[in-house]
Chains A and B, each alone.
Chain A
Amino acid sequence: MKKTVLYDAHVALDAQMVDFGGFLMPLIYTSITEEHNYVREKAGIFDVSHMGEFYVKGKEAGKFVDYIFTNDVSSMVDGQVLYGMMLYPTGGVVDDLLVYKVHNEFYIMVVNASNADKDFAWATEQQKFDCVLTNESDNISEVALQGPLAEEILQKLTDYDLSTLTFFTFSMMLINGKNVLVSRTGYTGEDGFEIYGYETEIKEIWKEILEAGGENVAPAGLGCRDTLRFEVALPLYGNELSKDITPLEAGLASISVRLEAGDFIGKDVLVKQKAEKTKRRIVGLKLIDKGILRHGYEIFKDGTKVGEITTGYRSPSTGETVAMAMIDRPFDKRGTELEVQIRNKMKKVVVRNKKFYTKSYKEN
């Protein structure tokens, strides 16, 4: 099992540690709800050093990334971040990822820890361009500072005017003398930053952020990372995305796919699927009866299976028992009453939108 550079810090904080993507990661420090609320109301700091980072360098770096990425890389400017996916020729998802454009001949891909090896092998197979693809995952560590007070806290540690760093852009900057990459991105639905650097740098920055933030920042584990991303309907690979689910079915086409731009692997399947309309899609569900909805529970209409829950929780922010679920059409329409099987009992659910909580990004 791999450990991040912050492993000792988590143990010192008495965190409950779990295996995630081959890494021993903090699940909970105090409680999921407490950490969740910290991120919604103040700020939380996450160790996300397990994430995978690939460098693509060379003359045709942009062409290569565009070829394996659903979003439009050719339109990117230096210092921009773009969300999108790598697809199999079937249209199923290899992984969802962020692409950072440093300049025309240097891009960084940030992928899920649990998929990093698979992604690198897949990307390497497709690499027939004049560029070099390297896996930098073992060299780069990362922390995410998320929440409405994130900017105020990080500003104490840098002369860079963070108010000029807009949503989904990044810059190299000095954080307490350490030259690191900072992007205004995240996975919580709140304003915030993701900070990439070498092990020793990230280890110091973690400590410095906690000191600078004082009462306004708390360490946040993977437990609340999942409830936070869930409430704003951000997908998790393995739940809302998989090799058997296309971005259209996941309902993520508008933010991750540009069919009108250049070709990419899997595009023809998406074009066809868009024309014919998908047979199923991810929607929100609300539980009418009592209980909790969980990943994998089956959904029925008049005794026939019509779908499955992808992620479910009692939303820590709203207290509602809700879920995201992959549902066959036409049962995906809002207000449709369906049934969910929970431990051999059928309970009533109703289809709703999947925005369980309103995002508060700093869009400009």
Chain B
Amino acid sequence: MSKIVEGLFYTNTHEWVKVEDGFAFIGITDYAQESLGEIVFIELPEEDDSLEKGEELGAIESVKAASDILSPITGTVVEINESLEDEPELLNTDAFTNWIVKVELSDESELEKLLNAEQYKEICE
């Protein structure tokens, strides 16, 4: 059974968003890392890149396949988690503490349209 953290926003494509100090942190869920398997590479955006809700934010490569990370929200990248470039396997270790990008939100109301932990749990079942 994969882990789901209360209080985060989720997408049905298995990303999570955590809002802290007015910034949004985006990552992939435990369910996502589990189904991807061993993660060997992550392609990250650059600082100041603008993100569109539902569009490709980056990509994750496991041993066997590549898959896109879709941005749950619209905004601007203010920081990327550089430690993932050298150690992408951190996402396998703990998908919820290892955020991928920190984003300045363009439209906070987008968050309301995301799933809560309970709704996301249903998708994973």
**A interface list, Cβ under 8 A from B:** 27-28, 31-33, 223, 226-227, 290-292, 294, 313-314, 316, 343
| Contact present for B64 and A32 (CB under 8 Å) | yes
The answer to the question of B66 belonging to the interface, with a C-beta cut-off of 8 Å to chain A, is yes
| Contact present for B37 and A291 (CB under 8 Å) | no
Q: How far is the CA of A294 from the CA of B43 in the complex (A)?
A: 15
| Contact present for A290 and B63 (CB under 8 Å) | no
The answer to the question of B84 belonging to the interface, with a C-beta cut-off of 8 Å to chain A, is no
| Contact present for A291 and B64 (CB under 8 Å) | no
| Contact present for A33 and B41 (CB under 8 Å) | no
The answer to the question of B38 belonging to the interface, with a C-beta cut-off of 8 Å to chain A, is yes
A314 touching B41 in the complex, CB below 8 Å, given contacts A291-B61, A343-B59: yes
The answer to the question of B100 belonging to the interface, with a C-beta cut-off of 8 Å to chain A, is no
Chain A contacts for B59, CB-based, 8 A: 343
Q: How far is the CA of A290 from the CA of B64 in the complex (A)?
A: 17
Contacts A316-B63, A343-B59 supplied; 7 other A-B pairs, CB < 8 Å: A32-B64, A223-B37, A223-B63, A226-B64, A290-B41, A290-B43, A313-B63
| Contact present for A314 and B63 (CB under 8 Å) | yes
Q: How far is the CA of A32 from the CA of B37 in the complex (A)?
A: 8
| Contact present for A291 and B41 (CB under 8 Å) | yes
Q: How far is the CA of A36 from the CA of B65 in the complex (A)?
A: 16
| Contact present for B61 and A227 (CB under 8 Å) | no
What is the minimal beta-carbon distance from A298 to any residue of chain B, in angstroms? 15
Residue of A nearest to B63 (CB): A32
Chain B contacts for A294, CB-based, 8 A: 65-66
Chain A contacts for B38, CB-based, 8 A: 31-33
Interface hits, B51-109 → A, CB 8 Å: 56, 59, 61, 63-66, 85
Chain B contacts for A343, CB-based, 8 A: 43, 56, 59, 66
Chain B contacts for A32, CB-based, 8 A: 37-38, 63-64
Chain B contacts for A314, CB-based, 8 A: 40-41, 61, 63
**B interface list, Cβ under 8 A from A:** 37-38, 40-41, 43, 56, 59, 61, 63-66, 85
What is the minimal beta-carbon distance from B84 to any residue of chain A, in angstroms? 12
| Contact present for A292 and B37 (CB under 8 Å) | no
| Contact present for B63 and A291 (CB under 8 Å) | no
| Contact present for B64 and A292 (CB under 8 Å) | no
Q: How far is the CA of A281 from the CA of B59 in the complex (A)?
A: 30
Chain B contacts for A291, CB-based, 8 A: 41, 43, 61
What is the minimal beta-carbon distance from A34 to any residue of chain B, in angstroms? 9
Q: How far is the CA of A124 from the CA of B18 in the complex (A)?
A: 62
| Contact present for A31 and B37 (CB under 8 Å) | yes
Residue of A nearest to B66 (CB): A294
What is the minimal beta-carbon distance from A221 to any residue of chain B, in angstroms? 10
Residue of A nearest to B62 (CB): A32
Q: How far is the CA of A294 from the CA of B59 in the complex (A)?
A: 13
A28 touching B37 in the complex, CB below 8 Å, given contacts A223-B63, A223-B64: yes
Q: How far is the CA of A316 from the CA of B85 in the complex (A)?
A: 18
Residue of B nearest to A313 (CB): B63
What is the minimal beta-carbon distance from B68 to any residue of chain A, in angstroms? 8
What is the minimal beta-carbon distance from A358 to any residue of chain B, in angstroms? 21
Chain B contacts for A292, CB-based, 8 A: 40-41, 61, 66
Chain B contacts for A223, CB-based, 8 A: 37, 63-64
What is the minimal beta-carbon distance from A268 to any residue of chain B, in angstroms? 40
Q: How far is the CA of A32 from the CA of B62 in the complex (A)?
A: 10
| Contact present for A33 and B43 (CB under 8 Å) | no
Q: 5 A-B contacts, Cβ less than 8 Å apart? A: A33-B38, A291-B61, A292-B40, A294-B65, A314-B40
